[in-house]
Amino acid sequence: MAKVKIKFACTECGTEAPKWLGKCPGCGAWNTMVEEKETVVKTQGISTSIIGMKEKPVPIIQIDNGHEPRIETTLGELNRVLGGGVVPGSLILVGGDPGIGKSTLLLQTSHALASQQLTVLYISGEESVRQTRLRADRLGALTDKLYVLCETNMELINDAIESVKPDFLVIDSIQTVYDPNVQSAPGSVSQVRECTAHFMRVAKIKGIATVLVGHVTKEGAIAGPRMLEHMVDCVLYFEGERHHSYRLLRAVKNRFGSTNEIGIFEMGEGGLREVSNPSELFLSERPLGVSGSTVVASMEGTRPVLVELQALVATTNFPSPRRMSTGIDHNRLVLIIAVLEKRMGMFLQTQDAYLNVAGGIKLDEPAVDLAAAVSIASSFRDAPTRPFDVIFGEIGLTGEVRAVSRAEQRVREAQKLGFKRVIMPKKSLKGWNPPSGIQIIGVETVSEALSAAFE
């Protein structure tokens, strides 16, 4: 006989507790613990219908090692993030803030695949089919191979999958889908977990590439249990500022490619347009001859990107100066300021320091240290650097400049955009020949870098 078990789960992060709590112990959110009923059925064993077909273990050397086939879309930036295209039978989870453009991106992707004579089923639980058609008219995404359904019942969605037999499936969003056999409301932890597990089995057994749209919490993480990110093959975050027209598609998990790639799109009236050269976009509004501004060559996956760093150092009237950073880790900023004070003799204890990555992009690699140090020193001295210099390198606590990876690609990107000089670690010059037409200055310490930047 089935036994009903009462538990409380957080709607933000999925943390479970045996009793109600005002504050979630997992994410710290208040009043997010809701009651859920879980039916526990005692069985003698696990049936093969739950785990799929019964298979025998085989030696790993007898398994076919053929490459996974990929379906390329017309969006090159999306192909780059996915590792070369959509893998049949893969399960992809896409998250992002409300109104950032998730549905627009997936509708354009669906049209691109349907134009290749692939059958696409777009299931929307938040919009009617008429609303989806209106957006498709605006995006120009009209084709007879694109099927649209407004449904949230998982059993009816299964019937539609059996009827259409799609090659590509979109569920927008997973929080709106519910299983009638689960006794909880749509969007609850149990419903999201069970529905995701069901679509994972459908994707693997039928070979349907499936994309799930997930809501995010106020902290920016995908809502629901963290187990969702472990179940899927790929987790993509669609990021961007409402005050900027471009969007960043970032992979934080990818079983079929790199997790460091980003795709850059620009939002317009006709939908999302891919940006093939992001460096020109981030440097389009860069002022020349202004103190505190430098250009850094950063690597986003396999792509070099030139970004402007802006620093502002101002005298403070408070005993404790402020240290604020946007786009760079705050602790990294504090470390760089400490190196400048100790090794370079800059008296920054009475100065507020602000560091910003222009354009809203986030840089998390240590190669931006040297450019950040030059920006801070430029603002502190009120002396601008040369407008056509590119700087990159990692800074150690003793003031040395350490080597970074892929220095050749960074230099060639700077040369392609017309920069005249590159200040970089001297140890990164080994093993390759610098291109002609651009001056390379190798430095070993922060002192040498500042001397070269302000000469």
Q: 184-190 long-range contacts, Cβ below 8 Å, gap at least 24?
A: 184/36, 184/37, 186/152, 187/11, 188/9, 188/11, 188/34, 188/36, 189/9, 189/10, 189/11, 189/14, 189/16, 189/36, 189/224, 189/225, 190/9, 190/36, 190/38
Angle, in degrees to the nearest 10, between helices 129-139 and 102-114? 70
Asked if residue 426 belongs to a known ligand binding site, the reply is no
Asked if residue 360 belongs to a known ligand binding site, the reply is no
- The residues near 188 (Cβ < 8 Å, ≥ 6 apart) are 9, 11, 34, 36
**Cβ atoms of residues 414 and 431 within 8 Å:** no
Asked if residue 214 belongs to a known ligand binding site, the reply is no
Asked if residue 100 belongs to a known ligand binding site, the reply is yes
Asked if residue 103 belongs to a known ligand binding site, the reply is yes
Asked if residue 172 belongs to a known ligand binding site, the reply is no
- The residues near 223 (Cβ < 8 Å, ≥ 6 apart) are 11, 12, 13, 175, 192, 214, 215, 216, 217
- The residues near 96 (Cβ < 8 Å, ≥ 6 apart) are 102, 216, 237, 238, 239
Asked if residue 57 belongs to a known ligand binding site, the reply is no
Asked if residue 99 belongs to a known ligand binding site, the reply is yes
Binding site, annotated residues for ATP: 96-103
Binding site, annotated residues: 96-103
